[in-house]
A and B are shown apart, each in its own frame.
Chain A
């Protein structure tokens, strides 16, 4: 049943090498649920293309007898189930990469599970695939999950799809069943932009039409699954697109050589060609295309090269060298599809990092315009995105980056979102287009500035940010501090959490998403008030480190004093001035910080006040002393 061995291996090894040095590579993803026989299909492709060695086979035989599901026959699924924990659960839980080769082509398979909760894995596997194989159980036909897989594949920009109608042996190799599934799928796929579709009737378990044409399906005249994968055209479309090379590394071995290293992600580059470097827009020409194996006249998409320019212009990591006249756009606001990949949901307004190509920049995401029900493709209202949810958001970057829409260039329009504290990868996204509307709103420079106001008031402006659990003593201490400052003749204002929630932030609740927005607005108001020359006392629980850092970074160095009003939960529960904890413990109040909503303790506050041992008035003195030490008060 296995593929015949290439006889050139024994008869003419040179001819074999010649052929194999020329083989192309096809990367594909397989999509299907646990029950669709996906692992069995991949296992069979590996087995029959002779990528399973004797000792693996011995282990497979032993495992098949012990935990196999095929009554002692070889259980190919066991070949591809990797981690011990998964094996025990009988499911695969992540993305695994498999390799096999035939005479015509080498293959890398991204094997991803099909459960709803694992959109993350499918999107990851699809991001590097040229083609998708979608499994459909012939007994069940086109299911919700088939639609979901197809939508994700099309979202990630894969156009070529193979629908493997599997388990055909269980429906008596019925042509009618196959035809019905094929026409239903094609009707659906046309609606989501999938155009290059092949449907193939197979039985992964029995081997029908996987490698060899099956006598059980005389009505089917198309290629086998492997035959199709070997021959499908994967000409890189990016080749005909405009030239792009994001700079990864500036190569300066000595003063005579300055080259820019990177991988070409679009088009072709030739020596002498006029180019432009973005975002600066500076122009030059390609002097040399340098490689270890000698200089090239021309290089194409996919190659990793080092470019030398004719002129000495300033180029650094993250810049994009591109074709003059067909340069990408440069923008700092976008509409994008965002796929959330972390247990902790997305917080609109929170500062995150975004990596697009080699460039890492600060980013905030808006509330989603909508999220997509991946089963029905319906648009739903949303305030955030949870793990495995996909939505459309506006992005605001802290600097402009060169980009192409994802649909035109995956490398120029695909990005990841990174947490600024844990550095975890939280999500991924696809840039759709630039938003222009912010261009008309620019910060107005005015003649009377902060420094001028400080001269008049006799002190420098500053924000004093009190953070801590409810009942820790923030309001008491900040009130005492304001009295002292007022007595000293300082211009002050106290922003209190409850008061602001009665007005400006009346529309916000106490979910994590709303808490982030609450603090974002307060931070922006604080910034305006500091600009007005005031010492602003901000008394807010502000439970998340990310938003406190956001507030700090809005201001200049020396204008922010973080005061951690520290009291253990047991202590604040007994104080409980507003009765919140009693209500919380009775279940009458949800999202109470410290009880069922987290509080992230500040790591490096300017002042930490231990309110168990320090009185409120002594605490106020500490704050005023700190403001003197910072030069806010003279």
Chain B
């Protein structure tokens, strides 16, 4: 266990460490997440961890390794894929799974494959709903998972601020804000009826800053797209979109330009805006973030549509 013992701030694993007077902020969050992971696993029959390849997933997987050490986390990872992620994300995903020795399940909505659903011809709303929301429901039904871990945090969006850590979903995967169970102390009600599932969010109480500080402290690998590099981008509606492969249709006269950019959030490349940045280390990212004034989800095109749109998506079964 890493402790604040007044050593060098950047604690490293050491045998025989002595307990601190008081747990630091990050150690309290870490312990809470581990407690949540263990409780969910102990009371479920067929748990799964949703793996989106982003930094929050990296942190969640790291916490799972800690929670069950020396065992390998006793559940598979599930990637609900859209076929439109950045190439670097697929590479990182496969590398991570090989490192961890965990099982990876990849689900691609067959209806989307058949109809070649994509953000360009179908729009971001249809694309996201079909690939992600419907895809996730299909995958959960297909494997009969009763508990699914997700990396969502309460600080991401206003409607998430009221989300429970253990969030009950109906057999149709719907989220009913009025039927959520009160959550007291660290006593979590993991019981569910036939067909009902529970989404569990071990990072509920982490902020974006906490996640980055923890990545720094624990030296957790993340997709290189978070770090600034020269990449080919086009500017559309004020967003910098990276031309990640040849499927991206260019407008007449539009030409990719090489800009030094990075991503604060990762999703489908045509729907994810880059920011111009020089931050090519975790430290610089945190520094940039502390000085920046734009919130994280702004890079995600899906949140823009209407105030309250995340809440609607959640009721439909989105994460």
Task: Write the residues of chain A forming the contact surface with B, with a CB cutoff of 8 angstroms.
Answer: 5-6, 9-10, 13-14, 17-18, 20-25, 53-57, 59, 63, 80-85, 87, 94-99, 101, 105-106, 108, 111, 120-121, 123-124, 127-128, 235-236, 248-249, 251-253, 257, 259, 261-263, 268, 290-300, 302-306, 317, 341, 353, 355-358, 360, 410-411, 414-416, 418, 422-425, 428
Question: Min CB distance, A237 to chain B, in Å?
Answer: 12
* B24–A23 CB distance below 8 A: yes
Write the chain B residue with the least CB distance to A121: B182
Interface size on B, residues (CB 8 A): 80
Alpha-carbon distance between A128 and B210 when the two chains are bound, in angstroms: 19
Question: Min CB distance, A131 to chain B, in Å?
Answer: 15
Alpha-carbon distance between A418 and B181 when the two chains are bound, in angstroms: 10
Whether B224 is near chain A, meaning CB under 8 Å from some CB there, is no
Question: Min CB distance, B293 to chain A, in Å?
Answer: 4
* A25–B25 CB distance below 8 A: yes
- A–B pairs, 29, beta carbons within 8 Å: A5-B290, A13-B286, A53-B298, A54-B294, A82-B159, A83-B158, A83-B308, A96-B162, A97-B161, A97-B204, A98-B161, A99-B207, A106-B210, A120-B182, A128-B186, A248-B42, A249-B38, A253-B71, A262-B38, A263-B34, A290-B69, A294-B17, A295-B15, A300-B20, A303-B19, A303-B23, A303-B31, A341-B182, A423-B196
* B209–A249 CB distance below 8 A: no
Alpha-carbon distance between A99 and B155 when the two chains are bound, in angstroms: 7
Q: Could you say which residues of chain A place their CB within 8 Å of the CB of B70?
A: 251, 253, 257, 259, 290
Known: A108-B205, A294-B16. 6 other contacts (CB 8 A): A59-B307, A63-B307, A80-B161, A248-B35, A261-B38, A294-B14
Interchain CB contact (< 8 A) of A251 among B14, B68, B182, B205: B68
Q: Could you say which residues of chain B place their CB within 8 Å of the CB of A302?
A: 23, 27-28, 31
Alpha-carbon distance between A235 and B39 when the two chains are bound, in angstroms: 26
Question: Min CB distance, B84 to chain A, in Å?
Answer: 24
Write the chain B residue with the least CB distance to A424: B181
Whether B41 is near chain A, meaning CB under 8 Å from some CB there, is yes
Interchain CB contact (< 8 A) of A127 among B24, B184, B209: B184
Whether B319 is near chain A, meaning CB under 8 Å from some CB there, is no
Alpha-carbon distance between A355 and B216 when the two chains are bound, in angstroms: 37
Alpha-carbon distance between A305 and B2 when the two chains are bound, in angstroms: 12
Question: Min CB distance, B28 to chain A, in Å?
Answer: 5
Q: Could you say which residues of chain A place their CB within 8 Å of the CB of B191?
A: 353, 360, 418, 423
Question: Min CB distance, A380 to chain B, in Å?
Answer: 24
Q: Could you say which residues of chain B place their CB within 8 Å of the CB of A99?
A: 154-155, 205, 207
* B295–A53 CB distance below 8 A: yes
Whether B103 is near chain A, meaning CB under 8 Å from some CB there, is no
Known: A17-B9, A20-B213, A97-B161. A306 touches B69 (CB 8 A): yes
Alpha-carbon distance between A85 and B69 when the two chains are bound, in angstroms: 43
Interface centre among A55, A82, A235 (most CB of B within 10 A): A82
* B1–A128 CB distance below 8 A: no
* A83–B177 CB distance below 8 A: yes
Q: Could you say which residues of chain B place their CB within 8 Å of the CB of A411?
A: 185-186
* B184–A95 CB distance below 8 A: no
Alpha-carbon distance between A63 and B307 when the two chains are bound, in angstroms: 10
Tell me what chain A mostly uses at the interface: helix, strand, loop, or mixed.
Answer: mixed
Write the chain A residue with the least CB distance to B297: A55
Interface centre among B20, B183, B186, B205 (most CB of A within 10 A): B186
Alpha-carbon distance between A387 and B187 when the two chains are bound, in angstroms: 20
Known: A83-B311, A97-B161, A263-B31. A293 touches B187 (CB 8 A): no
* A124–B207 CB distance below 8 A: no
Known: A357-B187, A415-B187. A304 touches B35 (CB 8 A): yes
Alpha-carbon distance between A87 and B311 when the two chains are bound, in angstroms: 12
Alpha-carbon distance between A423 and B191 when the two chains are bound, in angstroms: 6
Interchain CB contact (< 8 A) of A293 among B13, B155, B185, B283: B13
Known: A290-B70, A302-B28. A101 touches B187 (CB 8 A): no
Whether B189 is near chain A, meaning CB under 8 Å from some CB there, is yes
Question: Min CB distance, A119 to chain B, in Å?
Answer: 11
Interface centre among A262, A297, A303 (most CB of B within 10 A): A303
Whether B172 is near chain A, meaning CB under 8 Å from some CB there, is no
Whether B22 is near chain A, meaning CB under 8 Å from some CB there, is yes
Q: Could you say which residues of chain B place their CB within 8 Å of the CB of A14?
A: 9, 283
Q: Could you say which residues of chain B place their CB within 8 Å of the CB of A123?
A: 182, 184
Write the chain B residue with the least CB distance to A353: B191
Question: Min CB distance, B35 to chain A, in Å?
Answer: 5
Task: Write the residues of chain B forming the contact surface with A, with a CB cutoff of 8 angstroms.
Answer: 1-2, 4, 9-11, 13-20, 22-31, 34-35, 38-39, 41-42, 65-72, 154-155, 158-159, 161-162, 177, 180-187, 189, 191-193, 196, 204-205, 207, 209-210, 213, 216-217, 283, 286-287, 290-295, 298, 307-308, 311-312
**Minimum-distance CB pairs A-B, first 8:** A84-B308, A53-B295, A293-B13, A18-B9, A54-B293, A304-B34, A423-B191, A292-B69
* B17–A251 CB distance below 8 A: no
Q: Could you say which residues of chain A place their CB within 8 Å of the CB of B72?
A: 253
Question: Min CB distance, B158 to chain A, in Å?
Answer: 4
Q: Could you say which residues of chain A place their CB within 8 Å of the CB of B30?
A: 304
Interchain CB contact (< 8 A) of A22 among B9, B67, B186: B9
Question: Min CB distance, A81 to chain B, in Å?
Answer: 8
Write the chain B residue with the least CB distance to A123: B184
Interchain CB contact (< 8 A) of A55 among B10, B23, B205, B294: B294
Interchain CB contact (< 8 A) of B67 among A21, A85, A261, A294: A261
Alpha-carbon distance between A411 and B188 when the two chains are bound, in angstroms: 12
Write the chain A residue with the least CB distance to B217: A21
Interchain CB contact (< 8 A) of A236 among B4, B22, B161, B180: B22
* B25–A23 CB distance below 8 A: yes
Write the chain B residue with the least CB distance to A264: B31
Q: Could you say which residues of chain A place their CB within 8 Å of the CB of B14?
A: 293-294
Known: A9-B290, A82-B161. A21 touches B19 (CB 8 A): no
Interface centre among B25, B69, B183, B295 (most CB of A within 10 A): B25
Write the chain A residue with the least CB distance to B11: A21
Alpha-carbon distance between A185 and B72 when the two chains are bound, in angstroms: 54
Question: Min CB distance, A514 to chain B, in Å?
Answer: 27
Write the chain A residue with the least CB distance to B205: A108
Write the chain B residue with the least CB distance to A19: B9
* A299–B162 CB distance below 8 A: no
Q: Could you say which residues of chain A place their CB within 8 Å of the CB of B307?
A: 59, 63, 84
Question: Min CB distance, A95 to chain B, in Å?
Answer: 7
* A304–B31 CB distance below 8 A: yes
* A263–B294 CB distance below 8 A: no
Write the chain A residue with the least CB distance to B153: A99
Q: Could you say which residues of chain A place their CB within 8 Å of the CB of B209?
A: 101
Alpha-carbon distance between A216 and B315 when the two chains are bound, in angstroms: 47
Write the chain A residue with the least CB distance to B306: A84
Interface centre among B19, B42, B207, B293 (most CB of A within 10 A): B19
Question: Min CB distance, A298 to chain B, in Å?
Answer: 4
Write the chain B residue with the least CB distance to A54: B293
Alpha-carbon distance between A355 and B68 when the two chains are bound, in angstroms: 23
Alpha-carbon distance between A302 and B19 when the two chains are bound, in angstroms: 11
* A83–B159 CB distance below 8 A: yes
* B182–A428 CB distance below 8 A: yes
* B193–A423 CB distance below 8 A: yes
Q: Could you say which residues of chain B place their CB within 8 Å of the CB of A108?
A: 205
Q: Could you say which residues of chain A place their CB within 8 Å of the CB of B290?
A: 5-6, 9
* B19–A268 CB distance below 8 A: yes
Known: A10-B291, A235-B22, A414-B187. A303 touches B213 (CB 8 A): no
Question: Min CB distance, A438 to chain B, in Å?
Answer: 25
Q: Could you say which residues of chain B place their CB within 8 Å of the CB of A96?
A: 161-162
Alpha-carbon distance between A541 and B183 when the two chains are bound, in angstroms: 36
Interchain CB contact (< 8 A) of B177 among A94, A127, A253: A94
Q: Could you say which residues of chain A place their CB within 8 Å of the CB of B19?
A: 268, 296, 298-300, 303
Alpha-carbon distance between A292 and B64 when the two chains are bound, in angstroms: 10
* A296–B42 CB distance below 8 A: no
Question: Min CB distance, B34 to chain A, in Å?
Answer: 4
* A53–B294 CB distance below 8 A: yes
Q: Could you say which residues of chain B place their CB within 8 Å of the CB of A84?
A: 159, 307-308, 311-312
